[in-house]
Amino acid sequence: MKKRALNIDHIEESERSAEAGKNSDFRPKTGALIVFEGPEGSGKSTQLDKLIKYFKKKKSKTVLLREPGGTVISEKIRSIILDRTHTNMSEKTELLLYIACRAQIIEEKITKLLEEGYTILQDRFYLATIVYQGYARGIDRKWIDELNKYALDGLKEDLTIIYDVTQAEAQKRMKKRTKKDRLDEEDTEFHTKVRDGYLKEAKKMDNCIVISTDNKDEDSVFKETLYHLERKGFI
Ligand SMILES: Nc1ncnc2c1ncn2[C@@H]1O[C@H](COP(=O)(O)OP(=O)(O)O)[C@@H](O)[C@H]1O
Ligand SMILES: [Mg+2]
């Protein structure tokens, strides 16, 4: 029984390779999930705005999704999470709301889009929960890992790009932001823990690139991003 299963796997694998050989022009036939992470003010939204335009110009099947959010239900949960008047939100509630958002976007959008061959540019994903709820809020990692596992249901990203920024630089940039949310109100110590968390986790991940953005203008960071995406075969 076991042998038969192995044989079937083998046949499917060969067929997939033959298929890949026929259409080796553009990689995301079966879709790709590219995640963008980094502290507030590291430039994720700025870069993703440029990237989605770049991908659309090439007419490739690409979508931009954000967390928390990305579906009608998740956007409603997002507004609860980020509401500045919710100063008494419990850490457990916050964690569970992020996980709820993730479960919804995965089931409703990500899984289907990947099956349809889309490249998904994802503004934040499970790493953000590890860093914000784990490193910065101090919630026991075992809950975070279990809940992430439950929401992800076996889904794995193809690449993570982390934009790094020092707190001093991020603060300078965030002064320009007029619309502040509940997380923008957190202190320097919180955001420093977030940054350190990203850098520590990056070292443990296999498909992860860190791009430092201090003293680099938006176009230089964009060029660096394209360089890595090309090198990894996504464009
Ligand atoms: N490389 C950069 N150098 C200077 N300012 C930047 C850079 N990238 C983004 N910014 C500015 O910093 C602010 C935060 O950028 P944003 O893309 O919203 O960050 P994030 O989405 O990671 O929070 C914006 O005002 C943006 O114009
Ligand atoms: Mg943003």
Ligand 1 midpoint to CA 116 (Å): 32
Q: What are phi and psi of 62, to 5 degrees?
A: -135, 140
User: Is the CB of residue 179 below 6 angstroms from any atom belonging to ligand 1?
Assistant: no
Dist. CA 45–CA 26, nearest whole Å: 25
Q: Which atom of ligand 1 lies nearest, measured to the CA of 40?
A: 23
| Domain assignment of residue 129, yes or no | yes
By alpha-carbon position, which residue is closest to atom 3 of ligand 1?
A: 217
Residue 184 confidence class, pLDDT cut points 50, 70, 90: confident
Residue 67 sits in which domain range? 31-231
Report the domain count for the chain: 1
Residue 122 pLDDT > 90: yes
Please list the alpha-helical segments (H only) found in 58-187.
72-82, 91-105, 111-115, 126-129, 141-152, 167-174
Ligand 2 midpoint to CA 62 (Å): 18
Ligand 2 midpoint to CA 67 (Å): 10
Residue 30 confidence class, pLDDT cut points 50, 70, 90: confident
Residue 22 pLDDT > 50: no
CATH of the domain at 60: 3.40.50.300
| Domain assignment of residue 11, yes or no | no
Ligand 1 midpoint to CA 95 (Å): 26
Q: Which atom of ligand 1 lies nearest, measured to the CA of 218?
A: 1
| Domain assignment of residue 162, yes or no | yes
Q: Which atom of ligand 1 lies nearest, measured to the CA of 38?
A: 22
Q: Which ligand is nearest to the CA of 214?
A: 1
The reported pLDDT for the residue numbered 28 is 41
Ligand 2 midpoint to CA 28 (Å): 25
| Domain assignment of residue 7, yes or no | no
User: Is the CB of residue 221 below 6 angstroms from any atom belonging to ligand 1?
Assistant: yes
Dist. CA 167–CA 139, nearest whole Å: 22
The reported pLDDT for the residue numbered 109 is 97
The reported pLDDT for the residue numbered 34 is 98
| Domain assignment of residue 14, yes or no | no
Ligand 1 midpoint to CA 26 (Å): 30
Residues 98, 70 contacting (CB under 8 angstroms): no
| Domain assignment of residue 23, yes or no | no
| Domain assignment of residue 63, yes or no | yes
Neighbours of 209 (CB within 10 A): 18
Q: Which atom of ligand 1 lies nearest, measured to the CA of 176?
A: 25
| Domain assignment of residue 26, yes or no | no
By alpha-carbon position, which residue is closest to atom 14 of ligand 1?
A: 41
What is the residue type of 176? K
Residue 171 pLDDT > 80: yes
What is the residue type of 198? Y
